[in-house]
Amino acid sequence: MSNYLQVEGLSKRFGQVKALDNAELECSSGEIHALLGANGSGKSTLIKSLAGIVVPDQGDIYLRGEKVSIGSPQESLAAGIATVHQDFSLVPQLTVKENLFLGAEPLRKLGFIDFGEIKKKADRLFNSFQVEIPLGAKIADLSVSQRQLVEIVKAFSRDPDLLLLDEPTASLPSERVKILFDTIRELANREMAVVFVSHRYGEVQDLCEKATILRNGYSVGEVQVAETSKDKVVSMMLGEEATKKNYGDSEKQSSKAKSEAKSSLSFRAENVTAAAGNVEKVSFSISPGEVLGVGGLQGQGQETLLRALYGLEPTIEGTCTLGKETLHIRSPREAIRNGIVYISGDRDEGLLHSRTIRENISIANNANRPLWELIDVDQERQLAKKVIEKLDAVYESLEDPAWQLSGGNRQKLLIGRWLIKDPKLILMNDPTKGVDVQTKEKIYDLLYSLANDGVLILLFSSETKELISLADNLLVMYEGKVVEKLEGENITEEMVLSASLNTGNNKND
Amino acid sequence: MKSIVLDYARKNRHTLVAIGICGILLAIGGILRPGFSSYKNVLNILSLASFLGILAAGQTFAVLSGGEGLDLSVGAVASFSAIVAAHLLGPLNLPLVLVLLIIMALGAVLGLINGLGITYAQVPPLVMTLGMIGVINGLSLVYSGGQPTGSATELLQTISTGRIVGIPWILVIWLAFIFIVLFVLKRTTFGRALYAVGSNREAAYISGARVEIIKILAYSFSGLLSAFGGLMLLGFVQGVQYEMGSSYMLPSVIAVVLGGVSFSGGEGEYFNVVLGAIILTILTSLLTTLNIGEAGRMLVNGFILLALLTAFGRAEKMRQ
């Protein structure tokens, strides 16, 4: 049977963003089909559309040549589709057993759940994976890789005709990956259709015959994996225009930050390892006037690295030095005391919504003073005014609560509050997330002027383009490790993506 | 000039509305029962309101600290401290100032236990402080051996019920108390940090605040102020009984909500809580004047709380 699954003209908008734009996908029974694309190209949205989590605005989905509409996860399951989700679909409070059969409990007469049957089936599945996870354990108590396996077993237990795998190997050790691949091949031999999403190109080469490549929500094309090369795939993922345009940008702007720095303090991090395991032995240094970027694919530990340096994530290893001083940072308070500040693009993380603009700025001072000290409101007001005018924030009164401001202005508030502390190192965690173009420009300008003043900047941005144009040098992270350091003015998006995909290759060899 | 007035009105809407409600309730009382809104009776009502106002101050600290902050043990702490104070003042004959210090330290320790349980053992505030009621009432029994002894000394009675140039002493004390509480909340770094932690715990932590210590302090303050309230109550009632403060538990919560202190934390003014306590006391005396019994008053209190929580809950949602 050919073309078990056929997706035609699938489109989905989230507000202003086109997540899917006429996406196409074909997959036959017994085929393992790869779905490739850069960050934000719509892979996950496409998978979620098939899983019934996202309802597309337009387009058709055919199964066995018949048009189907999938409006909910239940309908997706009923159509014979099972999904391994990237961000897991497990309920942390329930046990492994309960999760495996959630929504598909084998019932006895009178509607009671047949737990005996559940146990038998679950045991069989785990045996085939050669894993020992107690069925009675709560998901919350399992490690990430164990959860990943439960997620996979859960999908397999539904005996689907179409299996969707959204980065199933992201948190699996390599020996399990091998077992997983053998199982997938075996299932494909039994006429199951499989759609496989992975950033590891090596795995795609290993497992898939054909691949569909997505860019900005539409399908650029389908390739025979054996007949193409990684470079070709990368350029299809990015498109020619995009890389070229970006090149010019980066040259123009990074030279701006290169001018003489006033301070001579530099920052070094060695072997930083987060307790959570998603940052491993990361070492780097930032010299005066440098904007160092951390990039790579999404969720490779970049944010955890920044949070760990700020004392927000526990570390089990690593030494940091600022100038000649060795730092031991276990909390934000200690970081701030040492001249390190953290700016998050997640405004819920930093904003005191119900408090005034004035208090939102002075908190940077007030949170770090002894509790019995008195507050000089006039001084507070002057400080707030100075900061907010420097950033051109639009506001009515300093006494208005912060929630009344627009998103961009809230972001200015979050950045502005740290200017009153004269920081030595600023950790920026996606500072332009979801802000308008003018605010972005303003933030860029500020970043350059800070760098010019000798402030060290470690920048993570979810937009690789932005990162390339702002950063002087760039660390590419993959699975918690720095896999490559790109230097100089000629960094391209292609180089970043290529560095990430390379590792996938090596790892599987 | 006009815009300044309007601006003031907009920012202090809550205060103005509360004052308006006080006026309306007094007017209704005056019409139904002549003499209800006389100068003398208003002073009486205000004196009664002061005990609630003091306990509601403790409640304010707890609710401001956020994370479903709540201190149900304010009444129990007040009761216990009244029993201990009566014993210290009567049979032991200690000076009032010393007793005041001992009682407030005692209250602070009880509040500290609440704070430790809530921050470090992560017991929800509702459960923690509810549990503490049992513990504290048990302590009362153990301490008094089943028979509370002693009573308020003359000096304490004068403070709680006497007058100076026609004005009740307790009102003078409450005024000073209000000033101190407002000062702590508005002009100290602790107060600022408390609002910050209540408003957004994560943000306060990222900004360098020691979130746990601030929360623990908030509950300690709650205990300390409640104990002070208990001492004043002892002077007012003169004799000592078990659980004499427990009837203030629910009203203290209502006064806080009436005062516009947000249950999500980090928002609201003690001054408005004072007005909330006054409104509630006027209402209670109005109901008493109209010969509506205890059961009726409890019903009214319960309904007010539900109505307010519904109204504020909606406002919260509309904002987001």
Kindly indicate the confidence band of residue B316, based on its pLDDT and cuts at 50, 70 and 90. Answer: low
CB contact under 8 Å between B209 and A342, yes or no, is no
* Closest CB from A342, A366, A377 relative to B189: A366
A226 CB within 8 Å of a chain B CB? no
Q: Which helix (H) or strand (E) holds A46?
A: helix A43-51
Kindly indicate the confidence band of residue A501, based on its pLDDT and cuts at 50, 70 and 90. Answer: confident
Tokens in use for B18?
């509360």
pLDDT in tens, B197-250: 999 999 999 999 999 999 999 999 999 999 999 999 999 988 888 888 898 999
In this structure, what DSSP letter does residue B153 have?
-
Helix A407-419 / helix A357-366 crossing angle, nearest 10 deg: 30
Work out the minimum CA distance from B174 to partner chain A, whole angstroms: 23
Instruction: With beta carbons under 8 A apart, name residues in chain B contacting A339.
Output: none
pLDDT at A112: 66
Q: How many Cβ atoms from other residues are within 10 Å of residue A359's Cβ? A: 25
B189 CB within 8 Å of a chain A CB? yes
Mean pLDDT (chain A) is: 84
User: What is the average per-residue pLDDT within A242-263?
Assistant: 44
Nearest residue to B41 via CA among B245, B301, B289: B289
* Closest CB from A332, A399, A403 relative to B205: A332
Within 13 Å, how many C-alpha atoms sit on residue B202's CB side?
Answer: 13
A396 CB within 8 Å of a chain B CB? no
Ramachandran class of A301: left when φ > 0, alpha when ψ lies in -120 to 50, beta otherwise: left
User: What is the average per-residue pLDDT within B287-309?
Assistant: 84
- What's the whole-model pTM score? 0.78
Three-class SS state of A27:
strand
B65: CB partners within 8 A, 6+ apart: B194, B197, B198, B214, B215, B218, B219, B265
Kindly indicate the confidence band of residue B320, based on its pLDDT and cuts at 50, 70 and 90. Answer: very low
CB contact under 8 Å between B210 and A333, yes or no, is yes
Residues A420 and B208: beta-carbon distance below 8 Å: no
Residues A302 and A295: beta-carbon distance below 8 Å: yes
Distance CA B48, CA B67 (A): 31
Distance CA A426, CA A418 (A): 9
User: What is the average per-residue pLDDT within B163-175?
Assistant: 92
Assess whether pLDDT exceeds 80 at residue B313: no
Assess whether pLDDT exceeds 90 at residue A426: yes
Helix B294-319 / helix B270-289 crossing angle, nearest 10 deg: 150
Nearest residue to A19 via CA among A61, A54, A68, A63: A54
In this structure, what DSSP letter does residue A405 have?
S
Provide the residue type at A191 as one letter: E
pLDDT at A136: 84
Classify strands A282-286 and A291-295 as parallel, antiparallel or unpaired.
Answer: unpaired
Distance CA A229, CA A192 (A): 27
Three-class SS state of B254:
helix
Assess whether pLDDT exceeds 80 at residue A113: no
φ, ψ of residue B128 in degrees (nearest 5): -60, -50
In this structure, what DSSP letter does residue A461 have?
-
Residues A347 and A409: beta-carbon distance below 8 Å: no
pLDDT at A288: 87
Distance CA B254, CA B248 (A): 10
B132: CB partners within 8 A, 6+ apart: B72, B73, B76, B110, B113, B114, B117
Helix A437-452 / helix A407-419 crossing angle, nearest 10 deg: 10
Assess whether pLDDT exceeds 60 at residue B57: yes
Nearest residue to A384 via CA among A350, A415, A359, A409: A359
Q: How many Cβ atoms from other residues are within 10 Å of residue A14's Cβ? A: 10
In this structure, what DSSP letter does residue A315 have?
E
pLDDT at A502: 66
Kindly indicate the confidence band of residue A106, based on its pLDDT and cuts at 50, 70 and 90. Answer: low
CB contact under 8 Å between A375 and B203, yes or no, is no
Beta bridge partners of A6: A26, A62
Which residue do the tokens 């001992």 mark? B102
Assess whether pLDDT exceeds 80 at residue A45: yes
pLDDT at A242: 47
B52: CB partners within 8 A, 6+ apart: B248, B251, B252, B255, B277, B280, B281
Distance CA A230, CA A209 (A): 14
Instruction: With beta carbons under 8 A apart, name residues in chain B contacting A362.
Output: 192
pLDDT in tens, A139-150: 888 887 788 888
Kindly indicate the confidence band of residue B140, based on its pLDDT and cuts at 50, 70 and 90. Answer: very high
B195 CB within 8 Å of a chain A CB? yes
In this structure, what DSSP letter does residue A477 have?
E
Kindly indicate the confidence band of residue A454, based on its pLDDT and cuts at 50, 70 and 90. Answer: confident
pLDDT at A507: 43
Kindly indicate the confidence band of residue A245, based on its pLDDT and cuts at 50, 70 and 90. Answer: very low
Distance CA A169, CA A177 (A): 6
Distance CA A408, CA B254 (A): 38
Instruction: With beta carbons under 8 A apart, name residues in chain A contacting B200.
Output: 348, 350-353
CB contact under 8 Å between B199 and A375, yes or no, is no
A348 CB within 8 Å of a chain B CB? yes
Three-class SS state of A154:
helix
Instruction: With beta carbons under 8 A apart, name residues in chain B contacting A312.
Output: 206
Ramachandran class of A9: left when φ > 0, alpha when ψ lies in -120 to 50, beta otherwise: left
A344: CB partners within 8 A, 6+ apart: A350, A414, A429, A430, A431, B206
Assess whether pLDDT exceeds 90 at residue A299: no
Maximum Cα–Cα distance for chain B, whole Å? 65
Q: Kindly tell me the sign of the dihedral angle through the C-alpha atoms of A165, A170, A176, A181.
A: positive
Tokens in use for B126?
């509702």
Distances B217 to B63, B105, B110, B220 between C-alpha atoms, Å? 13, 13, 11, 5
User: What is the average per-residue pLDDT within A86-105?
Assistant: 79
Work out the minimum CA distance from A134 to partner chain B, whole angstroms: 28
Distance CA B219, CA B222 (A): 5
Q: Worst-scoring range by mean pLDDT, A326-335, B159-168, B214-223?
A: B159-168
User: What is the average per-residue pLDDT within B60-70?
Assistant: 95
Which residue do the tokens 């210590």 mark? B213
Give the sheet arrangement for strand A58-63, strand by strand.
Answer: A17-27, A5-14, A58-63, A66-68
Q: Which domains does chain B have, with CATH numbers?
A: 40-319 (1.10.3470)
Residues B49 and B26: beta-carbon distance below 8 Å: no
Q: For residue A397, give the chain B residue with the closest CA.
A: B7
In this structure, what DSSP letter does residue A41 have?
S
Within 13 Å, how many C-alpha atoms sit on residue A472's CB side?
Answer: 20
ipTM attached to this prediction: 0.87
pLDDT in tens, B74-129: 999 999 999 999 999 988 889 999 999 999 999 999 999 999 999 999 999 999 99
> Which residue has better confidence, A261 or B49?
B49
pLDDT at A292: 94
Kindly indicate the confidence band of residue A122, based on its pLDDT and cuts at 50, 70 and 90. Answer: confident
Assess whether pLDDT exceeds 70 at residue A64: yes
B196 CB within 8 Å of a chain A CB? yes
Nearest residue to A458 via CA among A341, A331, A328, A317: A341
Nearest residue to A24 via CA among A7, A36, A37, A41: A7
Provide the residue type at A206 as one letter: D
pLDDT in tens, B12-51: 777 888 888 889 889 999 998 888 989 999 999 999 999 9
pLDDT at A253: 45
pLDDT at B49: 95
Q: How many Cβ atoms from other residues are within 10 Å of residue A11's Cβ? A: 19
pLDDT at B76: 96
A369: CB partners within 8 A, 6+ apart: B189
Within 13 Å, how many C-alpha atoms sit on residue A349's CB side?
Answer: 13
CB contact under 8 Å between A351 and B200, yes or no, is yes
Mean pLDDT (chain B) is: 90
Beta bridge partners of B7: none
Distance CA A434, CA A300 (A): 20
Give the A:B interface size as CB pairs under 8 Å: 97
φ, ψ of residue A387 in degrees (nearest 5): -60, -45
Beta bridge partners of A197: A35, A166
User: What is the average per-residue pLDDT within A337-351?
Assistant: 88
CB contact under 8 Å between B189 and A362, yes or no, is no
Residues A63 and A80: beta-carbon distance below 8 Å: yes
pLDDT in tens, A152-186: 888 887 788 999 998 888 777 777 788 888 888 98
Which residue do the tokens 């990943």 mark? A148
